[in-house]
Structure 1
Amino acid sequence: MNIGQASAASGVSTKMLRYYESIGLLPKAARTEAGYRVYSLKDVSTLRFIRRARDLGLSIERIKLLVGLWQDRERSSADVKVVAQRHVAELDARILELTAMRDTLQELADACHGDHRPECPILRDLEGGPQAAASGADVTGHFGTRKRGAAGCPAQPHAG
């Protein structure tokens, strides 16, 4: 099948298909006499595998490793499990980081009156940056406990 058909069958764009080929994630496609790429059903299966792995947020390096393990019928499932568990641990860390960011931003939004006055704790916090947080100034710590006590700003720690 041609590149358009392989793209449609796998759900991977033609641009990404060419990229995966260029970095060795997918073997170089066979070519017709006219130079057009020709893909096999095995190539499409590999592309679907890659697409699903990307949907799960795996890095290209990990996908290369997993494609190699998938194609190695002698491999141990323990090797695959280690890769998955490492990715889960990284996702857990990212979830904690994103949750802390969300909580901090929500606290700032809650502290903002949202009226006609120019005073805005959100902008004041962003202006202070991490340097002010490290000095204990009137800003939120890096994804942490609220350090403000000024009027209009919560002094309680965030739930998280």
Structure 2
Amino acid sequence: MAIEENGFLEYLQLQDGVPDLVTKSELIARVRAEGYPVSDRQLTFYVSEGLLPRSVRVGSRAGAYPSIVIDLLTWILRARDGGVPIEALKELLPVWKFLVRARTRRELDLGELEYVARQHVSSTEGALGVARLVIDVMSCYCSKCRSDIVIVTKSGAKMLMGDSTSTVGFAVARTFDDEEAGPTPRWFASTRVSLASTDRPSSDPTTVILGLKPNEALPPDPEDERSESCDQVRESVPGG
């Protein structure tokens, strides 16, 4: 049976065969619980843009989605809040799918990540969003869950994602028109990040907190919530 691009079956496969479904109302409620207000109209818009799969009837459940769509819609709304344009999100969607598969098998191959990103992401906005996307997807696991995820470097060396000394670099190149040499590739931006978890983000002295005014109260420590989420992920993923 052919799998429609961005279709229901493709996203069901991203769950490693786990038949966990949510209705439209459950999807909206779960995403709102993550702090992102979303409406029926927005849901329809993202489906029409090809960023979300269409719902299907499964047994008595009309309008059902694979539960992984909760993560997908949350990422889309978070990226939109950060100013990522729709066209860049479309470029990044194949990278998101690759990262979800990598997270499930608990191995992130940087050579494969680079190939997928360079194959699908062509805009500067999209390229600048890859590092943030990697952090978003791989950080879905709590520190205990991702401590055994392996990062495979382009040279074949392996390192544990949970090790704070393990970092991944991102470099963005652009082609500029040189009057003498013609189109010339040049480095545009670069950064290096750690995917390891910070156990106490609000009290860690090496963490710079952003997004709130200087005198505003900080959110509660999310460690307990991550531990609960960790247990739920392990129960839903075979072999977890």
TM-score (normalizing by structure 1):
0.45
The structure showing larger relative contact order (alpha-carbon pairs under 8 Å, at least 6 residues apart) is 2
Structure showing greater radius of gyration is: 1
Structure with greater strand share of residues = 2
TM-score normalised over the length of structure 2: 0.31
